[in-house]
A and B are shown apart, each in its own frame.
Chain A
Amino acid sequence: MTPATPNGSPLGFHSYDPGVAAGSLVMWGTPFPIGSGKVDIGAGTADLLVHNVCSVFDVFTVPNSFDPKHALGIFSAIINSMKIEWSGVTRSVLSFSDATNKFRGDFFECSATIAVSVTTPKDTGHGFHFESDPAKTHTDFAQFGTEHNGMFF
């Protein structure tokens, strides 16, 4: 989650990600409770609902996230809740297979909305809270599907 306003806001920059797990090269990945994300191919929908995601940091900007020294600082933050809903399929890519990147599956392009609440604790000195308005979601790209990659390809 990065600021969409290049010149920032009167409230300053805030950018949230989980970093890169130690010992892993998986970027910005974090465990969610099993079953928090669901795909319903028949209904043409998917959804994700999580609460209290504590494994995120406020890194202020994306470049600062990639800076090993985090010159702008880095503070533990929390996604209080997040609900993303995918619907309105506009294009289906069925039985797709990519031997180069070793993945296959059925994929459905659509639109999505997000309701998210995130907090940088006040005691960091950069206290910030954000509540999104799901009605004001613009989808650049969204899709859901079933996938098999790597050794499952």
Chain B
Amino acid sequence: MNDENSILWKKVQEKWLTRRNLIRGAAGTAAGAGLLLGSGLRLSALADGEDEGEHNKCKAVPRPIPHISTPPGTHFFFPGPVDASPTTSPNTGHDPSIITDFSGMVANADLIFSGTGTDLNTGASAKYDFHADMRFMDGVFVGLDNERHRGSIGFI
């Protein structure tokens, strides 16, 4: 990695941490604790007792899969069978993972579901419906830092 890349990487880290702090501050103390103890640092801390050294903490940013679905112009396939036809279904199915250089377990679910929504400002409640494409990828991946990481990435 050359100096230019080092500077770029440092900026990436700063932005990442800034955003994390913003989320923690806005979401409240309990939520912040959940972030710290749960999702936020586990990825960078790694599992299985691995120790990458101080300089590598918070660096486990995965790479996206190469494919871009347009619209919306982002790196993912819409949910569908992995063996979908590339001719008739170029953007649906195929690789369910959103990250590349990955080896592990994957699951995705394209769901429509109902429940109860409550307006916390007025107290009004009503039936509410959501449509969600949820996924997780749990295993080993090579991040933007070219290091191998053990981690779990969710797609929400």
Residues of A within 8 A of B (CB): 1-5, 9-12, 14, 16-18, 20-39, 46, 48, 50-56, 62, 66, 75-79, 82, 84, 86, 91, 93, 96, 98, 100-103, 105, 107, 109, 112, 114, 116, 119-122, 125-134, 136-152
Contact = CB atoms under 8 A, between A and B. Distances in A.
Interface string B39-50: 110110001000
B97 A103 contact: yes
A18 B156 contact: yes
Given A18-B154, A149-B95, 12 more contacts: A14-B128, A22-B18, A25-B74, A26-B64, A32-B136, A34-B150, A55-B39, A55-B40, A103-B95, A120-B120, A142-B107, A143-B108
Nearest to B18: A22
A91 to B, nearest CB: 8
A147 B96 contact: yes
Contacts of A10: 124, 126
Interface residues of B, number: 95
Given A1-B132, A26-B62, A147 B97 contact: yes
B117 A14 contact: yes
Given A55-B23, A101-B94, A147-B103, A23 B144 contact: yes
Contact of A147 (B67, B104, B110, B116): B104
Nearest to A136: B114
A32 B154 contact: yes
User: Ordered nearest first, which 5 A-B pairs have the shortest CB separation?
Assistant: A52-B34, A127-B120, A23-B12, A22-B15, A150-B101
Contacts of A105: 82, 106
Contacts of A31: 39-40, 42-43, 60, 151-154
Nearest to B138: A37
Interface in B51-67: 60-67
A53 to B, nearest CB: 6
9 contacts: A27-B75, A31-B40, A34-B138, A93-B81, A130-B116, A131-B116, A133-B115, A145-B105, A145-B107
Contact of A11 (B67, B102, B117): B117
B82 A107 contact: yes
Nearest to B13: A23
A114 B114 CA distance: 10
A135 to B, nearest CB: 9
